[in-house]
Amino acid sequence: MNFDYSDDQQAIKSTAREFLASRFKLEKVRELAEKGEYDDALWKEIAELGWPGIFIEEDHGGQDLGVLELVILQEELGYACAPTPFFSNAAAGLVVKHAGSTEQHERLLPGVASGEARGTVGVVRDGTAPLVPDADSSSFVVLFEDGAANVMETASVQLDPVDTIDSTRRFFSVTPGDAGEALDGDVGGAWQRIEIALAAELVGIAQRAMEMAVEYAKDRKQFDRPIGAHQAVSHRCAQMLLEVEGARSTTYYAAWALDHESESAPLAASMAKAYASDAGWRVAASAAQPA
């Protein structure tokens, strides 16, 4: 079995790395995060590359690729810490694609693929979805509740801003005004794909944090020696590498399972999300205080 990227996947990864590195330098990321906004011109460039529709059928304006290709993009977006509505829009598109009707596909997926009529998702608890990303700039919202999913126009729901520690995204609580339209297809499969997409973003974030910590450990000196030469620091860096590679392996396996071995996908997706969430937290914490 070949565990490497295909030529097309490698091209997607390298193109994404180069584009994001040039557009989302850390100064730009900091500027957007402090303002709490996105750069519409940069989002237009992303849409012109076809990224929002990477997993959507060509009939609806997409590229008709798989979960693996989406995961590659998500990892690179996480690595760049890029403030964009890509994930929320992709999550909504995944639910509509896998759980929506033909009519819902035709009505909603072209806007997701073009990035011009975006969607988002949330999970309802006690009548309200407490944390919905980018709801203010979305045309529709998909709300999960008790294993079911409903789609409704954003104009029909109540939005209230929510402050979080993640200033690269805008979050809102959403109170639905009505039940909306049911999405009666594979809701579980759509949720698994959302989990994997989020896991991939966490892998990218963890990779970037680890690289920054290792670079600091090489440059920072104490008693005329790089601090990375000290056993405690080098062991900490090695542990970060273990966490990142473990999270990446479980995430890419889960993506492969969804594309090629669906019976393994539910467990694989849950494992990937759990591992990547823990790794994202631990690696970032370790990178912030490597010694």
What per-residue confidence (pLDDT) applies to 1? 47
CATH topology of domain 187-288: Butyryl-CoA Dehydrogenase, subunit A; domain 3 (1.20.140)
Amino acid at 70: L
Q: pLDDT tens across 185-229, in order?
A: 999 999 999 999 999 999 999 999 999 988 877 867 676 676 666
- pLDDT tens for 101-137 read 999 999 999 999 999 999 999 999 999 999 999 999 9
Q: Residue 199 has which token pair?
A: 């896991």
Among 21-30, 62-71, 153-162, 280-289, which is the least confidently predicted range?
280-289
pTM (predicted TM-score):
0.93
Residues ≥6 apart with Cβ < 8 Å to 94:
55, 190, 193, 194, 197
Domain 7-183 falls under CATH 1.10.540.10 = yes
pLDDT of residue 131: 95
* pLDDT at position 3: 65
For residue 260, give Cα distances in angstroms to 90, 91, 248, 253, 256: 20, 20, 18, 10, 6
| 157 and 179 Cβ atoms separated by less than 8 Å | no
Chain mean pLDDT for the chain? 92
What is residue 5's DSSP assignment?
P
Report residue 179's pLDDT band, with 50, 70 and 90 as the boundaries. confident
Domain ranges in the chain are 7-183, 187-288
Q: Predicted confidence band at 231 (pLDDT cuts at 50, 70, 90)?
A: low
Extract the tokens encoding 33: 């995060």
